[in-house]
Amino acid sequence: MKKVTLLIIFVLQLISLTNCTRYNYQRFVEYLKAEKQLRANTINEQELQDKIAALRKNYKIDPENEIAKLSDHGQLWVEFLMDLSRAR
């Protein structure tokens, strides 16, 4: 009986740790919306690149790393794409 109780406690702790470390992609969605707006409003290529670099620094986001994080969580891709389509 004690072994079963300990096993249940262990599994519950593991589940709670997994939920705490879930990747939050909302900042990435906000970043992509801001980048899309920049691209729509900026014609000069050099100015655009400078503004995108400043935007990445402001959001503290590297899009390649964010995509890599999403690729590790299959279900999050679906949620991310749905939120991204709603954010238009």
Please state, rounded to an integer, the average pLDDT across all residues of the chain: 80
Alpha-helical (H) ranges within the chain are: 2-20, 26-41, 45-59, 63-71, 74-86
Task: List pLDDT tens digits, range 45-60.
Answer: 999 999 999 999 999 9
DSSP state of 70: H
Report the share of the chain in percent with pLDDT over 90.
27
- Two structure tokens written together for 33: 């919306």
For residue 31, the tally of other CB atoms under 10 A from its CB is 20
